[in-house]
Structure 1
Amino acid sequence: MASQIISSRLLLLALPVLACVFPCSCHARATDNNGARIRGMFVFGSSLVDNGNNNFLKNSIAKADFLPYGIDFPSGPSGRFTNGKNVIDLLCDQLKLPLVPAFSHPSTQGRKIIHGVNYASGASGILDDTGSRAGNAISLNQQLRNFEEVTLPDLEAQMGFRRRELLPEFLFVVGTGGNDYSFNYFLRQSTANASLEVFTANLTKILSGRLQPDGDGQPTRTPWMHSSVEQGSSPLQCSLEVLGRYTTSSCCEVMALNRGGNGVLCKKEGKACEDRNSHVFFDGLHPTEAVNIQIATKAYNSNLTSEVYPINVKQLSMF
């Protein structure tokens, strides 16, 4: 049997949370998107990349299924924690992929999953108990189980191929980390990093276990990629410099703790600013679509090693 090589790569997006991209590439068949070999995405993480999973959770206050969230999204409020599209949506646009459906939506099964699934849950984190103060959240480990135990068997049935043949055509994205520090003020960074390493090891194990070539194939190689703005440096620096006008205030009306709010989420049916393209933050924590556009664009096609290293997502998709 011809040997195959599995590639895994890590991308840290320029946001105040951690975001990782793991593409697996070995003789992928899908090459319709301007030479790109990406059929779709599987997305894990927290509210930065949640596109509606929390809508279906009981006893969760981390929801964005009401105005003014989605005020600029084509179908209105969807569960995305921003005024329009999030980073994942914009990467899908760049890769000419359809928007990825939320795992928890009842219709996300059958042919709906052939371009990937989004498992992300607002308020979740690297640690299983992160976000418990916000009520229900789907932990990162549970998201991984949903991928392996529910989606993969369905995907095999729909596509008529084994997972080892299918998974190399997908991009694996993880956006998480910020909530671990927000909800666990005294959390040591080493603890969160160790937990993230366990998660990524489990994900890699699932992928490599399914994709490892039979016989004496070549070993797995694992180059990593990341962007320049990480925790501990200057989050959103590029966006702050470009937008410039409103860098700390939220665009939507956020209720303070002493007024019955949580100091983060938009007030339900509350007001939103008109000049949303001039704001960095839509609510008390999450970026506007204008910022998401900048981040996704840089991740996709920047050639600056200070922004994406060693290659950008566009180059990655050609492998």
Structure 2
Amino acid sequence: MASQIISSRFLLLALPVLACVFPCSCHARVTDENGARIRGMFVFGSSLVDNGNNNFLKNSIAKADFLPYGIDFPSGPSGRFTNGKNVIDLLCDQLKLPLVPAFSDPSTQGRKIIHGVNYASGASGILDDTGSRAGNAISLNQQLRNFEEVTLPDLEAQMGFRRRELLPKFLFVVGTGGNDYSFNYFLRQSTANASLEVFTANLTKILSGRLQDHVLQFLLQKLYRLGGRKFVLMAVNPIGCSPMVMASRPGRHGCIQVLNKAGHLFNAHLKSLVDVSKHHLPGSNFVFVNSYRIIRKIIRNPVPRGFKDTTSSCCEVMALNRGGNGVLCKKEGKACEDRNSHVFFDGLHPTEAVNIQIATKAYNSNLTSEVYPINVEQLSMF
């Protein structure tokens, strides 16, 4: 088991981090010059893209179904870990797609799934046991099984087409990895003494293994074999700059670089995975969205980008010394009025204003330092 080789000398956090990673889907109304059609989107990941799956989980503390979460969302609190829309919702807006339903909602079946489905779960990670400390998170492997065993047969029945005809017209978004560092590397102590580089290599082997091992149902190869051809891989955010992490080091100024180094290493591997995947999966196309770099640029030079506060949470967070986890907003607690000027809404997750920046650049940026090798708009044209 991968956890046997994981060790940590950095006890920076005391309770689980509800990191980001993402499943969601949308029905595309975008048509290219040749009439090609993006039917929708399927999303896999963690709390950065969870649009309500954890609402339906028992014994999970990783929930955002209460105010002030959703204070700027049209229908109020929905399970999204931000004040308004998350990056997947906004990417759907860029593609002119309707928002997609959460898999765990019992009503997500029949005609409701033809636009795609969101499988993401707050606190989950690449490793199956990453979300265990937050209680009952849906692992990445289980998210894949939910797609293959439940959604896919229903989708074929609803659309009247086989999966290999349907799935090339959908986008598959994967956003995960940050929680694996927060939970497994920096929180756990072990007799093993794995270096950060070794642990990063093991995490990315799990991802790249999905290109090689059908028996283990590894993600990318499995989705490809099922018919997926268009993939969006989201970077790990700069977790060392989050208010939760900063609060764990009182008196220290600036981001915690050892955590950011972890994210940077992982993202470098993830970017290289794009080129490897193109070689091993003929006919596939990938986009790597470097949200890490986009957020770091905001933090380093906020004012020209419309931001003022880059270090504190917009909402009132339940602190570690008050029975909280340093991440989630206090239920029915206060939130700042000028939410568009804050980078972080709670102890970990970005505000809608930051999500807008990420989604916009993912869709149309021409900088390979932000999107690689193409952007999502170009991907939708294939």
> Does the TM-score normalized on the shorter chain lie above 0.5?
yes
> Which whole-Å CA distance do the structure 1 matches of 2:8 and 2:324 have between them?
41
Question: In structure 1, the residue corresponding to 2:117 is in which secondary structure?
Answer: strand
What is the correspondence of 1:215-294 to structure 2 with a 5 Å cutoff? Answer: 235=238, 247-294=310-357
Displacement of 1:135: 0.9
Q: Is the 8 A contact 2:131 2:137 kept in 1?
A: yes
Q: Which moved more, 1:182-191 or 1:11-20?
A: 11-20
Cα offset, 1:57, TM superposition:
0.3
| Counterpart contact for 2:103–2:118, Cα < 8 Å | yes
Question: How far did 1:124 drift?
Answer: 0.5
The alpha carbon displacement at 1:257 in A equals: 1.2
Shift of 1:37: 3.0
CA gap of 1:14–1:143, structure 2 versus 1, over 3 A, is farther
Q: Deviations over 1:183-227 (max 9, x none)?
A: 123489999999999999999999999999xxxxxxxxxxxxxxx
- Provide TM-score, normalisation by structure 2: 0.62
**How much does 1:7 deviate?**
37
Change (3 A) 1:77 1:169: same
Structure 1 residues 81 and 18: CA distance shift in structure 2, 3 A: closer
Alignment check: 8 A CA contact 1:8 1:24 kept = no
Higher helix share: 2
**More off after superposition, 160-169 vs 16-25:** 16-25
In 2 relative to 1, CA 84–183 (structure 1 residues): closer, same or farther, beyond 3 Å? Answer: same
Q: Is the 8 A contact 1:167 1:207 kept in 2?
A: no
Count of residue correspondences: 303
**Distance of aligned partners of 1:185 and 1:73 in 2 relative to their CA distance in 1, 3 Å threshold:** same
Displacement, 1:120?
A: 0.4
- Bigger drift between 135-144 and 19-28 goes to 19-28
Which whole-Å CA distance do the structure 2 matches of 1:152 and 1:76 have between them? 30
User: Tell me, which stretches of 5 or more residues in structure 1 are unaligned?
Assistant: 213-228
Question: Alpha carbons of 1:27 and 1:172: their partners in 2 closer, same or farther (altered >3 Å)?
Answer: closer
- Residues 126 and 203 of structure 2 are in contact (CA less than 8 Å); yes or no, is this contact kept in structure 1? no
* Gap change, CA 1:194 and 1:91, over 3 Å in 2: farther
Report the Cα offset of residue 310 of structure 1: 1.3
CA displacement 1:166-196 (0-9 Å, x = unmatched): 0001000011111111112348999999999
* Residues 94-153 of structure 1, C-alpha deviations (whole Å, 9 max, x = no match): 001110100000110000000100000000001000021111100000000000000000
Deviation at 1:301, TM superposition (A): 0.2
* Contact 2:244-2:347 at 8 Å conserved across structures: no
Alpha-carbon distance change, 94 to 172 in structure 1, aligned in 2, over 3 angstroms: same
Contact 2:21-2:49 at 8 Å conserved across structures: no
Please tell me whether the aligned partners of residues 7 and 26 of structure 1 are also in contact (alpha carbons under 8 angstroms): no
CA shift in 2, pair 1:199/1:112, >3 Å: farther
- Of all paired residues, the percent bearing the same amino acid is 94
Q: Which residue number in structure 2 is paired with residue 88 of structure 1?
A: 88
- Closer, same or farther: CA 62–24 of 1 in aligned 2, 3 Å: closer
- Superposed CA RMSD in Å reads 9.2
Q: 1:108 to 1:276 in 2, by over 3 A?
A: same
TM-score, structure 1 normalization: 0.74
For the 8 Å contact 2:72–2:84, the answer to whether it is kept is: yes
